């Protein structure tokens, strides 16, 4: 019975997908307290905090050794003031601090993992004031994923401090089938790579561009909802793709109700990147209270149309151009019907009229007449529909 008592996660967290920043995509193992503090400063000064971003997450490589009693310590060289002081700094900015560990003996970068130390580690994180735990899956050999992640979930709950629990086992063990009551989000794929449609081969594993990650979400939308999200991985916005690709990437992640975790250097981002990451209408689509992941509504090969039911009868409609050239596209709403068996939404466009607004250009119209647009190569057009 004992184990049952704590078999819970903190339910009040991540009722909408978490918004934040993570060190890995830009810095890899080069993390230190000065950089993390500067990132918290930049999250405030860039307007990201005001736009809703909340978490500053340190990924792999913050770890030092375990002490003689097995308690984990931060790397003394790179985090000389310690994690508690860093959490205090981040909290004083009105933000939250996240940390990273691994279900195995060692993390992916070879630092101490939490295997056999789960309760001790959760207690340590709670005592430091940590708010978010990303939990990876390297060096796990024969470990059962459901029990490994449930053990850490129980350890966090027992430690008593609400911490968002972010499952990162790359979708290998179908976490959507078992993780709803275990974590607040689960990675659905291997790592992201800043490219449109590539597979980046690392030998024994691959990382993936925007389109391959999008395509791997097929069939998963029914598993997501408030408090338990499909995580499409940390974003590569501002990390080298074109402006149109970045906008498509950000808009798609928002539509899919994925956590939006920036992965660029917030201290020196371009105005374009800042504008994208703080784009209110896109964030509102992601943060909509219904928490319904978009569905692919129309698939015409190069052009795909996604639709996301929103509060108050609104819908977000995203036109994606996967192609390498710009494409003109026309949609006669009147001849279309939308039925979502999962969220139980249905629209007869010939009977029900909407006003639409292009959330980037501000252009307006109604679904009473044919809609024509030009979608840039590797780009999107996003409309918000409101009932008339």
Which residues are known to be catalytic? 136, 191
Task: Provide the minimum distance between the beta carbon of 108 and ligand GAL in the complex, in angstroms, as a whole number.
Answer: 3
CB closer to ligand GAL out of 113 and 225: 113
Binding mask 117-156 for ligand GAL (x = CB under 6 A): -------------------x-x------------------
Is residue 168 near ligand GAL by the rule CB under 6 A?
Answer: yes
Which span sits near ligand GAL by CB under 6 A: 103-111, 115-123, 177-185, 262-270?
103-111
Applying CB under 6 A, the span of 104-112, 142-150, 210-218, 245-253 interacting with ligand GAL comes to: 104-112
Name the minimum Å distance from CB 8 to ligand GAL. 26
Token pair for 139: 């060096």
Give the shortest CB-388-to-ligand GAL separation in angstroms: 44
Choose between 136 and 245: whose C-beta lies nearer to ligand GAL: 136
Residue in 60, 121, 236, 314 binding ligand GAL, rule: CB under 6 A: 60
CB of 109 or CB of 143, closer to ligand GAL: 109
Written in H, E and C, the secondary structure of the chain is CHHHHCCCCCCCCCCCCCEEEECHHHHCCCCCHHHHHHHHHHHHHCCHHHHCCCEEECCCCCEEEECCCCCEEECCCCCCCCHHHHHHHHHHCCCEEEEEEECCCECCCCCECCCCCHHHHHHHHHHHCCCEEEEECCCCCCCCHHHHHHHHHHHHHHHCCCCEEEECCCCCCCHHHCCCCCCCEEECCCCECCCCCCEEECCCCEEECHHHHHHCCCCCHHHCECCEEEECCCCCCCCCCCHHHHHHHHHHHHHCCCCEEECCCHHHCCHHHHHHHCCHHHHHHHCCCCCCCCEEEEEECCEEEEEEECHHHCEEEEEEECCCCCEEEEECHHHCEEEECCCCEEEECCCCCEEEEECCCCCEEECCCCEEEEECCCEEEEEEEEEC
Choosing from 108, 130, 320, 380, the residue that interacts with ligand GAL (CB under 6 A) is 108
| Site stretch for ligand GAL (CB under 6 A), options 49-57, 106-114, 156-164, 273-281 | 106-114
Among 191, 236, 245, 304, binds ligand GAL (CB under 6 A): 191
Largest CA distance in the chain: 72
**Number of residues engaging ligand GAL in binding (CB under 6 A):** 10
We find the least distance from the C-beta atom of residue 215 to ligand GAL, in angstroms, to be: 18
Q: Which of 328, 316, 326 is CA-nearest to residue 378?
A: 326
Instruction: Examine residue 231 and tell whether it contacts ligand GAL (CB under 6 A).
Output: no
59 binds ligand GAL (CB under 6 A): yes
* Nearest distance in Å: CB 258, ligand GAL: 14
The distance of closest approach from Cβ of residue 350 to ligand GAL in the complex, given in angstroms and rounded to an integer, is: 46
Among positions 308-327, residues that touch ligand GAL (CB under 6 A) are: none
Q: Could you list the residues that contact ligand GAL (CB under 6 A)?
A: 24, 59-60, 107-109, 136, 138, 168, 191
């Amino acid at each position: 019975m004992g184990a049952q008592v704590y078999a819970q996660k903190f339910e009040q967290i991540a009722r909408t997908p978490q918004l934040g920043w993570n060190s890995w995509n830009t810095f890899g193992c080069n993390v230190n307290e000065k950089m993390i503090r500067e990132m918290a400063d930049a999250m405030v000064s860039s307007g990201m905090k005001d736009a809703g971003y909340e978490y500053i997450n340190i990924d792999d490589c913050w770890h030092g050794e375990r002490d003689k009693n097995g308690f984990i310590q931060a790397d003394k060289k790179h985090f000389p003031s310690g994690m508690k002081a860093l959490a205090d700094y981040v909290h004083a900015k009105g933000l939250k601090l996240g940390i990273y560990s691994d279900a195995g003996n060692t993390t992916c970068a070879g630092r101490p993992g939490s295997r056999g130390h789960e309760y001790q580690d959760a207690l340590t994180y709670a005592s430091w004031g940590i708010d978010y735990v990303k939990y990876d899956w390297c060096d796990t050999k024969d470990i059962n994923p459901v029990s490994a992640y449930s053990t850490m979930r129980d350890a966090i709950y027992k430690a008593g401090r609400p911490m968002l629990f972010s499952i990162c086992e790359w979708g290998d063990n179908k976490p959507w089938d078992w993780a709803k009551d275990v974590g607040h989000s689960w990675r659905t794929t291997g790592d992201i790579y800043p490219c449109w449609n590539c597979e980046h081969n690392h030998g024994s594993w691959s990382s993936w561009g925007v389109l391959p990650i999008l395509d791997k979400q097929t069939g998963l939308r029914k598993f997501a909802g408030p408090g338990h999200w499909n995580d499409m991985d940390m974003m590569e916005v501002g990390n080298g793709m074109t402006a149109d690709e970045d906008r498509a990437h950000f808009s798609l992640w928002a539509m899919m109700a994925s956590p939006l975790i920036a992965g660029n250097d917030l201290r020196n981002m371009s105005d374009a990147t800042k504008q994208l990451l703080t784009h209110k209408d896109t964030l509102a689509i992601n943060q909509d209270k219904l928490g319904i992941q978009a569905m692919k509504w129309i698939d015409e090969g190069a052009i795909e149309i996604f639709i996301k039911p929103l509060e108050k009868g609104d819908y977000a409609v995203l036109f994606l151009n996967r192609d390498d050239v710009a494409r003109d596209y026309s949609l006669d709403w009147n001849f279309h019907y939308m039925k979502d068996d999962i969220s139980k939404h249905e629209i007869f466009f010939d009977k029900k009229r909407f006003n639409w607004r292009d959330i980037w250009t501000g252009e307006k119209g109604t679904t009473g007449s044919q809609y024509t647009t030009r979608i840039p190569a590797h780009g999107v057009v996003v409309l918000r529909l409101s009932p008339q």
